[in-house]
């Protein structure tokens, strides 16, 4: 039980950090007058949260910080299915805690404007007004690629000490591609936290940001097992 508690705590803190750092960069810094970091800065922030979180907490829990990643690792044979519920609960709670703290900070000034609060969405909630089909496709495909990179970068034959860096850079690239389409999820926990504090419509669209990343993760894991896996 103590071992599980350490793993759950690492996943909670890691997902908290990913959500707070990544979404915080979007809510607090991206639109800052004259000095805003823009899409590129937000993409880099998400990548940096994964890199730093992977090296800090990965040795304890594996550094998933994402229910879709945990599901994909089960399908890929790298993670026990029995451990999945505890990881997913810890990840979702970490993201909700981060979003709650971010909301308190973002509304802690006169006349606050939080916009869509870094929520994910399609149609009116898409940054560039992409529809549901485009959102579904980009989330499935990019999560599948994310799992391929994770499985490859953490294989025994890979340069293990660089795994976290490769995964973080991949997430940065994913955000550079898909922020205009969905504001980038590829992570159901990251989507859930902000949706609870953002516009009401975000909750109505949250299903897509659970279904698409999980489907994509499964596809990525199946492709890796079928075509790319060696002794890992």
What angle is formed at CA 75 by the lines to CA 151 and CA 192, rounded to 5 degrees?
85
* CATH code of the domain covering residue 154: 1.20.1080.10
With 0-12 CB in 10 A as exposed, 13-18 as middle and 19+ as buried, what is 56? middle
pLDDT: which is higher, 32 or 18: 18
CA-CA distance, 175 to 183, in Å (whole number)? 8
How confident is the model over 77-84, as a mean pLDDT?
96
- The model's pTM is 0.95
CA-CA distance, 210 to 198, in Å (whole number)? 17
pLDDT in tens, 85-142: 999 999 999 999 999 999 999 999 988 888 899 999 999 999 999 999 999 999 999 9
Instruction: Specify the number of domains making up the chain.
Output: 1
Q: Are 98 and 90 in contact (CB under 8 A)?
A: no
CA-CA distance, 10 to 16, in Å (whole number)? 10
Domain span at residue 43? 2-228
pLDDT in tens, 165-217: 999 999 999 999 999 999 999 999 999 999 999 999 999 999 999 999 999 99
Q: Are 118 and 39 in contact (CB under 8 A)?
A: no
pLDDT in tens, 140-176: 999 999 999 999 999 988 766 789 999 999 999 999 9
Does the pLDDT value for residue 66 go beyond 60?
Answer: yes
């Amino acid at each position: 039980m103590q071992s599980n508690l350490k793993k759950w705590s690492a996943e909670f803190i890691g997902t908290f950090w990913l959500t707070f750092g990544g979404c915080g960069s979007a809510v607090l810094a991206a639109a800052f007058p004259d000095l805003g970091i823009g899409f590129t800065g937000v993409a880099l922030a998400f990548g940096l949260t994964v890199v730093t979180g992977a090296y800090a907490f990965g040795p304890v829990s594996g550094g998933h910080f994402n229910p879709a990643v945990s599901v994909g690792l089960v399908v890929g044979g790298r993670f026990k299915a029995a451990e999945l519920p505890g990881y997913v609960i810890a990840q979702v709670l970490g993201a909700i805690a981060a979003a709650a703290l971010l909301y308190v900070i973002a509304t802690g000034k006169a006349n606050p404007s939080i916009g869509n609060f870094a929520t994910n969405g399609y149609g009116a909630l898409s940054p560039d007004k992409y529809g549901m089909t485009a959102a579904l496709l980009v989330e499935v495909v990019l999560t599948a690629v994310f799992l391929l990179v994770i499985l490859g970068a953490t294989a025994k034959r890979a340069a293990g000490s660089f795994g976290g860096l490769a995964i973080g850079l991949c997430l940065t690239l994913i955000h550079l591609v898909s922020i205009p389409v969905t504001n980038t999820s590829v992570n159901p926990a990251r989507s859930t936290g902000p949706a609870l504090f953002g516009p009401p419509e975000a909750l109505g669209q949250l299903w897509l940001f659970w279904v698409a990343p999980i489907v994509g993760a499964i596809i990525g894991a199946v492709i890796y097992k079928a075509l790319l896996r060696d002794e890992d």
